[in-house]
Amino acid sequence: MFIDLRSDTVTKPTQAMKEAMFEAEVGDDVFGDDSSVLALEQKAAQMFGKEAAIFCVSGTMTNQLAIRVHTQIGSEVICDKYSHIYLYEGGGVALNSLSSLKLLDGDRGRLTAQQVRDAINNPEDIHQPITHLVSLENTMNKGGGCFYNISDIQAIKQVCVENNLKLHLDGARIFNALVETGESPQQYGELFDTISICLSKGLGCPVGSLLIGNKDDIKKARRIRKAMGGGWRQAGFLAAAGTYALDNHIARLRDDHLRAKQIGSILEGLPFVENIYPIDTNIVIFELPKTLLASDFVEKAKESGLGCVVFGKHLVRFVTHLDFSDTHLSIFEDKIKKIA
């Protein structure tokens, strides 16, 4: 059996999710009359205490739409150097928004208010691009799934308000943070102008992300999405999976976090494990000795029936998810010990 921990995107819909999809009432979403899409968008907006939401094909698309909405040609966006919007979106900020990024060196991808304040360009200086947006990521993928203290975000929000900057959240895994902190989505809705959430990660949907914000911003995003070719028709079959996941798959993320910690304990004793990043949610990153390349390790793991990804020259990432049970964990243990 192949134990696939390459990402939490590899999950397949559960039987109950498939039934919800099969039963979905659909329409034509470009005409705005797919009731399942409308229900999902409304539900997500309400959860975060916002006015509106737009259902999209990917988290890359929802982030890119947000950045486009909040910037002008030649803007600068402040984010951490580990950000998904910088590392993993194909240079989309340059392509879609003709804007540049100011990359900061945070704590495992988390910024402080002081760092943000110091990074804002002087709008009177014509040498410098005008700072229009701050983008945070929570949980932080490249930082090993760590999450922010909400007080740090509140302080960043204050800096944004004082400097007339918009604040966007790449919340692909925001629910992984919320189940750990006990905070509510509304608290996040109050702090951010726009929030992107992924349904296809820990929540276990086959496809989909939502951008959540005020009516005006989401209306603009809808126009840009159409121009990008992202208008879709009977998308309600996918939206129904999203609604099902928001109702049923949030609380269980704690199980993924527990299993990630158990993977950490298993790794601790192994000879090829030099160092393990702190495990805060469902992401496990460990470091190999300098004599071992992550690419070689990942290849060997694959031959042994374990899926993981290269996360740096000597770094390997595992991600736990809905299709990784306690039974799979014990198979994982056998397999990884054999690699050793």
- Choice from 50, 68, 70, 84 touching ligand PLP (CB under 6 A): 84
- Choice from 20, 47, 198, 245 touching ligand PLP (CB under 6 A): 198
Looking at 20-28, 58-66, 111-119, 331-339, which segment touches ligand PLP (CB under 6 A)? Answer: 58-66
**Single-letter residue type at 209:** S
Q: Per rule CB under 6 A, is residue 141 in the interface with ligand PLP?
A: yes
C-beta closer to ligand PLP: residue 41 or 80: 80
Q: Per rule CB under 6 A, is residue 64 in the interface with ligand PLP?
A: no
Q: Per rule CB under 6 A, is residue 60 in the interface with ligand PLP?
A: yes
Host H or E run for residue 265: helix 253-268
Measured from each CB, the residue nearest to ligand PLP is 59
DSSP codes joined into one string, 136-188: EESSBTTTTSB---HHHHHHHHHHHHHTT-EEEEEETTHHHHHHHH---HHHH
C-beta closer to ligand PLP: residue 84 or 314: 84
Smallest gap, in angstroms, from Cβ of residue 222 to ligand PLP?
18
Looking at 55-63, 184-192, 245-253, 286-294, which segment touches ligand PLP (CB under 6 A)? Answer: 55-63
C-beta closer to ligand PLP: residue 137 or 256: 137
Q: Per rule CB under 6 A, is residue 189 in the interface with ligand PLP?
A: no
135 forms beta bridges with 168
Q: Per rule CB under 6 A, is residue 41 in the interface with ligand PLP?
A: no
Q: How far apart are CA 111 and CA 319, in angstroms?
A: 23
Long-range contacts of 9-13 (CB under 8 A, 24+ apart): 9/200, 9/201, 10/307, 10/321, 10/323, 11/204, 11/321, 11/322, 11/323, 12/206, 12/323, 13/204, 13/205, 13/206, 13/241
C-beta closer to ligand PLP: residue 109 or 129: 109
- Choice from 20, 26, 37, 172 touching ligand PLP (CB under 6 A): 172
Q: Per rule CB under 6 A, is residue 280 in the interface with ligand PLP?
A: no
Strands (E), the chain: 3-4, 52-56, 75-80, 100-104, 130-137, 166-171, 194-198, 209-213, 275-276, 283-287, 306-307, 309-312, 315-319
Question: Which residues of the chain form contacts with ligand PLP (CB under 6 A)?
Answer: 58-60, 63, 84, 137, 141, 170, 172, 198, 200-201, 209
